Amino acid sequence: MATRQIGLVQASFALALPHVDAVAADFYARLFVLAPETRGLFRGNMGEQGRKLFLTLAMVVDALDAIETILPAAEALAVRHVGYGARDHHYAIVGTALLDALAQTLGPNFDGDTREAWAAAYATLSDHMRAAAARAVPHQAAA
Q: Where does the pLDDT of residue 140 fall: very low under 50, low under 70, confident under 90, or very high at 90 and above?
A: low
Interval 76-96 mean pLDDT? 91
Spatial CB neighbours of 55, under 8 Å, sequence gap ≥ 6 = none
Number of domains in the chain: 1
The range of the structural domain enclosing residue 128 comes to 3-140
For residue range 3-24, list pLDDT tens digits in order: 999 999 999 999 999 999 999 9
CATH (domain of 105): 1.10.490.10
In angstroms, what CA-CA distances link 57 with 40, 70, 126, 141, 143? 22, 11, 12, 23, 26
Out of 14-18, 63-67, 82-86, 121-125, which region has the weakest mean confidence (pLDDT)?
A: 82-86
